[in-house]
Amino acid sequence: MITKLYKNLINSLNGLKIVISEKSFVMELILGVFLIPYIFLSNIEFNYKLFLLVLYFLLLATEIMNTAIEKLSDKFTKDFDNDIKNIKDLSSASVFIVLITLILTFFLTI
């Protein structure tokens, strides 16, 4: 069981190494450099702090899934394919929705 957990940890760290080279993920990490201190230093209610933190990590997780979908789609074909474009657009839209929710929640707290 410990071996399985260790292998899972290594796989997760490898995934983080891959996604850290994605510009969108790096921009979202930079957002966190400003957002996380705000969360901990502001006088907003604990529930808002928790919600902002959860939304931020959900944004990162959604971006990782978006990257995985894009990389998987590229394995099928590098040529333009309208169906793959739609799949990538849908995946990107999920990141956008989480980002908009995070931004709106942030502005409700200031």
Model confidence band, residue 78 (pLDDT cutoffs 50, 70, 90): confident
Does the residue 9 lie in any domain?
no
- Separation CA 65–CA 60 (nearest Å): 9
**What's the average model confidence in pLDDT over 22-32?**
98
Give the predicted TM-score (pTM) of the model. 0.93
Does the residue 17 lie in any domain?
no
CA end-to-end span of the chain, whole Å?
46
What is the tally of structural domains in the chain?
1
* Structure confidence at residue 13 (pLDDT): 97
Does the residue 10 lie in any domain?
no
- Separation CA 100–CA 46 (nearest Å): 21
